[in-house]
Each structure stands twice: as C-alpha cells, then as structure tokens.
Amino acid sequence: MDSLPPPPSLPPSRSDPSPPALPWPDLIAGAAAATRRLVSAHSRHFLALSALLLLPLSLLLLSLPSPFLLPAPSPSVSLRSPRDSRQQTPLRAPLPLLALAAALLYLAAFAAVATSAHAGFFGRPVKLLASLLSVPASLLRLLLTALPASPLLLIPFLPLPPALATALAALGVLLLSPFWSLAGAAAVVESASGPCSPLRQSCRLLSGVRLAAVSAFTFFAAGVGVTLWGFGGVATETYDAGAGWAGMAPVVVKAVAGTAVLALLMLYGMVTNVVLYMHCRAIHGELTGEIYNEFANSYVFLPFDEGKDRHVVSVVTVWP
C-alpha cells in the first residue's frame, strides 16, 4: 500500500528588494474593492466604532474655525443666539488644546479601525471590545511614530495667514505621504516599537508603488479638506432664537450632514490605508507565511470522503 505523500511545505518567502511591477491604478482599484467588501461585511462593527470615535472627532473638527476662511475667535462648545449676548459668555477652550484633543482622538480611532480591518482582512472574528482594548497600546506606538512629523503640526500656529500656514502643512504632509503613509498601519499591525521601525517599513513597502500612496492620500485628504471648508466653523454659527426651529434648522442640518460625511471619509480612509498596507506586503511576498499559518489547520472535507482517512491539506497561494 502506497504511503500518503507528505503535506506541502511552506512556500519560501521572497525577499527580493525589487518587487514585481504593478500599475498603480490596478493597485488602487484592488484596494478600493477590498475596502468596500471589508466595510460591508462588518458594517455594524464599523458603524459602532464610528459612533464612538469618529463622530465625536468629526464634530470637534467641524467646531474648529476653518483654516480656509477668515480668522474666527476660539470656538465655543455650544451654538450661540444673537439674543443671548447679554447672558454669560460660554466657556472657550484654547485652540491648541482642542487641536491636541482632535489629534489624540484621531490616533485612537485609527488604532481601533486598523485593528478591526486587519482582523477582517484575514476573516477573523471582529469584536468591538477587542478593538477598543487594543487602543491604549496602539496609541502609544502611534504617538512615537508621529514624532518625526510632529513639527508639521506647529506650522498652523506660526504668525502666518491661516490659509498659507494650512497650505504649507498640507504640502509637507503630501511630500511625506509617498514614504510614510503606511507607517501608522505598520505600527498597529506589526506592534512595532519606536518611531523608526514603522517609518522604515513604510518606505520599504512603498518602493515602486508610491503613486498609489499619493493618489489614495490625495483623494481622502481632498475630501476631508472640502468637507471642512464647506461645513467648518459650526460652533461659531449663530441663529435666531425667536424664529424657533426655522432659525435653528440650517445650523443643525449643516452640523449633522458635515459630521456624517467627515466620519465616512475618515473611516474609509483608515480602512483603505490598512488594506493598501496589506496589499503592499503581498507584493513583497510577506503574506505567504501569515496566510499559510492562518489556514494551516483548515481541512477540506469532501461529501464522498465519509469513512476515509481525512488528510486533505488546503494550499493557499498568494498573489502575485
């Protein structure tokens, strides 16, 4: 009786420093399709994360004075009515403190979304509590990773016109996106410690596909910028209290619509960043071992195999 052939061995991981060329439109199209499927498959989970983290962040960003408009006073946490000017002025928080709170909330939201997207990419169970519990450790790694780019955050506070300062900061981030745009995903997924390791990993993974990173960043950054320009400065809006709902409705509709659009853009931008990171790892041949280990214990049982010795091994091939 012939013995069964040995199970297939783990395919060798390719360490070729020059990955195979892939047209960047194809990479963007593949990442967009994978992002849509991933969000649709876990729509309730990502909706819960958006309600807990992204919606408050969006409302906070919209309450800040828009950098594309004329300078406005420090934002208030509540809407004001012209007829309430005799009343006590509401408390105002300094702009740098609000910007710091928005940055921390964004990093926390990215940590939770990236953890969920990475688990969903491999078909693992996506749990809300597990994603939230991963935020503290991932947030620390993201803060360390963001240190080299932190001087760009100080540009809007320089004594320059708001539009010019914002344009300089956006230009600096755009110039860094072909090299460091995947550093956040690397810090969360790989649990890399220190600011240099995720940055080096991002530079290496983006070798040959930098146009894809620039295109993805530009698309979502432009969408967020247009949303902030169109719906920004909600907290500085005034309404006529004597007109009742008719006077307040435009401000409420503007806040609700802007918050929803901004949260949606940030959610898809975060998931796309993680998916693009996984696709770049696949291009470099780094996902072979992970997928093999993920499905190593998965066996395929055929309906007519009842009573037979079930030693069927599923072999997973990885693109490309």
Residue 7: φ, ψ to 5° = -65, 155
As a whole number of Å, the end-to-end CA separation of the chain is: 38
Asked whether 81 and 240 are in contact (CB, 8 A), the reply is yes
Most trustworthy range by pLDDT among 11-25, 32-46, 305-319? 32-46
Asked whether 256 and 97 are in contact (CB, 8 A), the reply is no
Q: Convert the pLDDT of each residue in 150-198 to its tens digit.
A: 777 777 677 778 778 778 888 888 888 889 999 999 999 987 666 688 9
Q: Convert the pLDDT of each residue in 41-66 to its tens digit.
A: 999 999 999 999 999 999 888 887 66
Say whether pTM exceeds 0.85.
Answer: no
Segments making up each domain of the chain, as ranges: 24-81+91-286
Instruction: Give the mean pLDDT of 114-122.
Output: 93
Q: Which two tokens stand for residue 301?
A: 């049982």
Q: How far is CA 27 from CA 19, 21, 210, 237, 282, in A?
A: 13, 11, 11, 42, 11
Q: How far is CA 95 from CA 74, 75, 107, 156, 221, in A?
A: 6, 8, 18, 11, 22
Q: Convert the pLDDT of each residue in 218-254 to its tens digit.
A: 999 999 989 988 887 665 666 555 666 666 777 778 8
Asked whether 179 and 203 are in contact (CB, 8 A), the reply is yes
Q: How far is CA 99 from CA 21, 94, 104, 146, 224, in A?
A: 40, 9, 9, 15, 16
Asked whether 38 and 121 are in contact (CB, 8 A), the reply is yes
Average pLDDT of every residue of the chain:
76
Q: Convert the pLDDT of each residue in 255-313 to its tens digit.
A: 888 899 999 999 999 999 999 999 999 888 887 666 655 555 554 444 444 444 333 33
